[in-house]
């Protein structure tokens, strides 16, 4: 894992700006920082890199990495680099390093653009062909590794973080108020529907895409990968066996490292399957880190203790303090160049700090499992809708009542036939924003206040899962986890975002995703030998959640003074009097998410406006 940045244009960038930018990049790559300047179609091309040593920690693998007429800067990991290396050796290639960077570049030299189909991993990279004067830029399938850019006329700046672009360009970028208001009132699911950021003119490089720059210097993004739902006939037995094999292979590749690896462990199935495969199948000693919330709605201590004994592994538990959490959040917002989208990631920052303190360089998490296996309560309602005309419906509806409905707190999701009455129901995804819009100043407008989604398929459940995977929940988690990890010079890895595994799961008929009241049925069955049986059969969905009251005192005098005064710049957008009335209520539980968004937006405006 590393950091990259660069500029292509007529400007001559001073050493001072380059040094300043490399210094900002040091968190992403504390082990080496360097840059190169090239001439490309009569323009200056600066390639900056900061390196976090994970594979082949020798300095020979530092970047920009140069081979013949090519130079590369690369952030990420190519997990199947050993297999690709063997292929290339048979073709006559020789290697001077043990790194995946060299394999990546030489794969491109041999296979051309087809090499993108061969890569299994996470990446943002830039390759320069000095001889032919071409620049190739690409980002991985799921957008695990970040890349941002700003483009005007014949000037392109890019970077792994927005602050790198700001530093290298030495320009100020105005706040994107549309994006900020979408976050404040509609929530995190609204902010990844396009590739906008919280700053005008700075965009996110599209996932699953590549760009070739030549003398024409036009930004023409092209997709190299598409995921579709294409169900095929298969038995449960075969589906479970193949899921298990693909998962094992994914974990095996993703624990390749020359530095210590840790696991982020909750009390749920997702992270326990990954830890279990590593310990019981691959015979690796593991160390896990878990968050404990005193709020019993989110406390998973019981299951975490079961995991510790079952896996016979060390688990460190973290209880974030209530003191200084606002100061911590303020610093994180400055580092993230954005609001920290949910309170989970404020809490997650305490976990990554502890992981780094204990000298681990890689952190593995269960990101993506809910979206590819079906793990959310509304998935169960969509599932019932999908099987409404099948002979299994009556039995599955009964199982849903007995095993799932009993755990649901949201009254909306207690209606098993919600989607029967309205297949297009999506109000909950923007947290019933109409109520919150009452606080909006009349002169302000929310640009995207109607929920929209990409169609992908006619299947309701699969359409929702694909939107969550590419535009809603997963992009948000990946962005926040990357920044929290990189803030502590840790590489984050997500074994569930394996191309072969995901492609296979979207050939499984939807009716096989949930069975006998068990969500993520295929995952549970594939993990039978690796996870304690009480965790496998636990149908309560907790997830990585945290209560705002456990970490921030929103009723205290300090909070009132800091946030509920007219000096707070957020009251340009919302009505101060109406918002103060909100805090006069005895219970704020139903408004916790909105209040957290309010806090984040306030701190973001204080920092960047």
Cis preceding-peptide flag for 64 (omega within 30 of 0): yes
Q: What's 77-128 look like in SS3? A: EECCHHHHHHHHHHCCCCCCCCCHHHHHHHHHHHHHHHHHHHCCEEEEEEEE
Say if residue 298's pLDDT is above 70.
no
pTM passes above 0.85 = yes
pLDDT band per the 50, 70, 90 thresholds, residue 544: low
Class of domain 2-223: alpha beta
Pairing of strands 287-291, 261-264: parallel
Please give the pLDDT value at position 184. 93
> What is the per-residue burial (b if ≥16 Cβ within 10 Å, else e) of 388-421?
eeeeeeeebbebbeebbbeebeeeebeebebbee
Do 27 and 2 touch, CB atoms closer than 8 A? no
How long a stretch of residues is the chain? 609
Asked if 411 contacts 405 with a C-beta cutoff of 8 angstroms, the reply is no
Q: What is the mean pLDDT of residues 155-168?
A: 98
Separation of alpha carbons 385 and 579, rounded Å: 39
Closest residue by Cα to residue 360 from 285, 291, 304, 418: 285
Q: How far apart are CA 445 and CA 425, in angstroms?
A: 23
Question: What CATH architecture applies to the domain 239-556+604-608?
Answer: 3-Layer(aba) Sandwich (3.40)
| 66-75 tens-digit pLDDT | 999 999 999 9
Report the alpha-carbon distance of residue 114 to residue 112 in Å, rounded: 5
Residue 408 token pair: 């649901």
Q: Please report which confidence band the pLDDT of residue 169 belongs to, taking 50, 70 and 90 as the band edges.
A: very high
Q: What is the pLDDT of residues 192-244, one digit of tens each?
A: 999 999 999 999 999 999 999 998 888 999 999 999 999 999 999 999 999 99
Question: pLDDT > 90: what percent of the chain?
Answer: 76
434's enclosing H/E stretch is helix 433-436
Instruction: Answer yes or no: is pLDDT of 90 > 80.
Output: yes
- Separation of alpha carbons 605 and 572, rounded Å: 11
Type and span of the H or E element at 420: helix 418-421
Is 481 exposed, middle or buried, given 0-12, 13-18 or 19+ CB atoms closer than 10 A? Answer: buried
How far out from the chain centre does Cα 9 lie?
31
Which one is predicted more confidently, 300 or 462?
462
Distance in angstroms (rounded) separating the CA atoms of residues 50 and 415: 52
24: exposed, middle or buried (Cβ count in 10 Å: 0-12, 13-18, 19+): buried
Under a CB-based contact definition with an 8 Å cutoff, are residues 28 and 45 in contact?
Answer: no
* Residue (of 261, 259, 277, 260) closest to 269 by Cα position: 277
What tokens does 400 get?
Answer: 């849903």
Q: Of 101-110, 251-260, 518-527, which gets the smallest average pLDDT?
A: 251-260
Determine the straight-line distance between the first and last CA of the chain, rounded to whole angstroms: 31
What pLDDT does 445 receive?
Answer: 77
Rounded mean pLDDT of 122-137? Answer: 96
3-class state of residue 608 by DSSP: helix
Query: How crowded is the C-beta side of 90, counted as CA atoms within 13 Å?
Result: 5
CA neighbor of 49 nearest in space, from 28, 67, 66: 28
Alpha carbon separation from 102 to 99, 140, 215 (Å, rounded)? 6, 17, 27
Question: For the chain, what is the total number of helices (H) and then of strands (E)?
Answer: 24, 17
Which parts of 251-397 are beta strand (E)?
261-264, 287-291, 314-318, 362-364
Beta-bridge mates of residue 129: 70, 134
Which residue ranges make up each domain of the chain? 2-223, 239-556+604-608, 557-603
pLDDT of 273-285, one tens digit each?
999 999 999 999 9
Mean pLDDT of 379-387: 97
Mean pLDDT throughout 32-50? 94
Look at residue 368 in the predicted model and tell me its pLDDT. 97
Phi, psi of 224 (to 5 degrees): -110, -5
CA nearest to 135, candidates 64, 224, 213, 219: 213
How much is the pLDDT for 559?
83
Contacts of 445 (CB under 8 A, 6+ apart): none
Name the 3-class secondary structure at 576. helix
Instruction: Read off the pLDDT of each residue in 545-570 and give the average, rounded to a whole number.
Output: 82
Distance CA 512, CA 374 (A): 10
Task: Report how far apart, in Å, the C-alpha atoms of 221 and of each of 125, 145, 184, 209 are.
Answer: 14, 17, 30, 6
Name the H helices within 7-57. Answer: 15-24
Q: Rounded distance, CA 70 to CA 25, Å?
A: 23
Q: How far apart are CA 146 and CA 430, in angstroms?
A: 25
Within 220-300, residue ranges assigned H as helices are 236-254, 269-276
């Amino acid at each position: 894992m590393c950091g990259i940045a660069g500029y292509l244009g007529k400007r001559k960038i001073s050493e001072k700006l380059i040094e300043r930018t490399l210094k900002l990049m040091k968190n992403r790559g504390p082990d080496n920082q360097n840059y190169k300047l090239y001439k490309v179609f009569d323009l200056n091309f600066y390639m900056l890199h900061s390196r976090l040593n994970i594979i082949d920690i020798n300095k020979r693998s530092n970047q920009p990495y140069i081979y013949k007429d090519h130079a590369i800067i690369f952030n990420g990991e190519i997990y199947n680099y050993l297999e690709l290396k063997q292929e290339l050796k048979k073709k006559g290639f020789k290697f001077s390093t043990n790194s995946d960077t060299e394999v990546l570049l030489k794969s491109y030299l041999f296979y051309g653009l087809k090499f993108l189909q061969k890569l299994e991993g996470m990446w943002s990279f830039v390759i320069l062909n000095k001889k032919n004067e071409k620049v190739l830029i690409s980002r991985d399938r799921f957008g695990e590794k970040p890349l941002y850019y700003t483009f005007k006329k014949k000037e392109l700046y890019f970077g792994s973080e927005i602050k790198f672009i700001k530093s290298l360009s030495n320009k100020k970028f105005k706040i994107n108020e549309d994006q900020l208001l979408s976050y404040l009132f509609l929530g995190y699911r609204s902010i990844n529907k396009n590739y906008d950021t919280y700053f005008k003119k700075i965009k996110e490089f599209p996932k699953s895409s590549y760009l070739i720059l030549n003398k024409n210097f036009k930004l023409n993004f092209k997709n190299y990968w598409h995921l579709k739902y294409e169900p095929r006939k298969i038995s449960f037995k075969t589906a479970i066996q193949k899921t298990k094999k693909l998962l094992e292979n994914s974990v095996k590749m993703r624990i390749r490292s020359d530095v210590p690896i840790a696991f982020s462990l909750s009390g749920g199935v997702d992270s326990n399957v990954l830890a279990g495969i590593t310990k019981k199948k691959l015979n690796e000693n593991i160390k896990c880190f878990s968050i404990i919330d005193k709020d019993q709605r989110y406390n998973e201590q019981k299951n975490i203790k079961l995991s510790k004994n079952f896996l016979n592994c060390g688990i460190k538990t973290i209880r974030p303090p209530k003191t200084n959490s606002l100061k911590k959040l303020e610093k994180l917002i400055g580092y993230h160049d954005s609001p920290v989208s949910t309170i989970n990631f404020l809490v997650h920052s305490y976990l990554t700090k502890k992981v780094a303190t204990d000298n681990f360089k890689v952190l593995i998490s269960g990101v993506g499992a809910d979206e590819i296996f079906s793990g959310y309560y509304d998935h169960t309602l969509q599932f019932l809708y999908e099987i409404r005309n099948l002979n299994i419906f009556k039995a599955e509806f009964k199982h849903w009542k007995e095993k799932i409905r009993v755990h649901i707190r949201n009254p909306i999701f207690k209606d098993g036939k919600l989607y029967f009455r309205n297949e297009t129901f999506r109000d909950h995804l923007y947290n019933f924003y109409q109520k919150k819009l009452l606080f909006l100043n009349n002169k302000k407008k929310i640009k995207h206040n109607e929920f929209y989604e990409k169609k992908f398929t006619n299947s309701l459940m699969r359409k929702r899962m694909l939107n969550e995977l590419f535009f809603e929940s997963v992009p948000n988690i990946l962005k926040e986890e990357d920044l929290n990890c990189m803030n502590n010079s840790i590489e984050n890895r997500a074994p569930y975002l394996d191309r072969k595994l995901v492609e296979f799961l979207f050939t499984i008929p939807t009716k096989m995703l949930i069975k006998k009241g068990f969500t993520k049925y295929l995952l549970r069955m594939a993990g039978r030998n690796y996870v304690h049986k009480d965790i496998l059969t636990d149908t309560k969905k907790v997830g990585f959640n945290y209560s705002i009251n456990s970490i921030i005192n929103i009723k205290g005098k300090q909070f009132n003074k800091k946030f509920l005064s007219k000096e707070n710049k957020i009251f340009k957008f919302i009505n101060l009097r109406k918002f103060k009335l909100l805090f006069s209520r005895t219970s704020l539980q139903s408004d916790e998410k909105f209040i957290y968004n309010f806090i984040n937006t306030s701190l973001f405006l204080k920092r960047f406006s």
